[in-house]
Amino acid sequence: MNNKWKHGVYVLVALAMVLIAVPRISLTGGLNLVNGFGIVWVLFALMVIGANLHFLLGVDDEKRKALERVRRAKLQQWQLQLDKERGR
């Protein structure tokens, strides 16, 4: 639970940074090095937000549970096949 709180804070901080930075990026002067850096920085901050939201929403937990179900089904299938071969 403590870990999720930490990721929530990271999302809020990164979102605040993006909300402050986006209005300051001006593309009226064309695409120069400063504006390019600003755009790349915002994209990186959005990736940080996305990664932390991914963790907060528990997508990894859902994937892990689905993979565990598949693994158990395979083990059960192998056990049935092994029992069938022993019965011959």
Give the distance, in angstroms, between the CA of residue 46 and the centroid of all CA atoms in the same chain. 11
- pLDDT for residue 65: 84
31 and 8 part of one domain? yes
41 and 23 part of one domain? yes
Distances (CA, A) of 64 to 3, 15, 21, 33, 70: 18, 28, 36, 42, 10
Residue 1 has pLDDT above 60, yes or no: no
Give the distance, in angstroms, between the CA of residue 66 and the centroid of all CA atoms in the same chain. 17
Whole-prediction pTM value? 0.61
44 and 69 part of one domain? no
58: left (phi over 0), alpha (psi -120 to 50) or beta: left
46 and 75 part of one domain? no
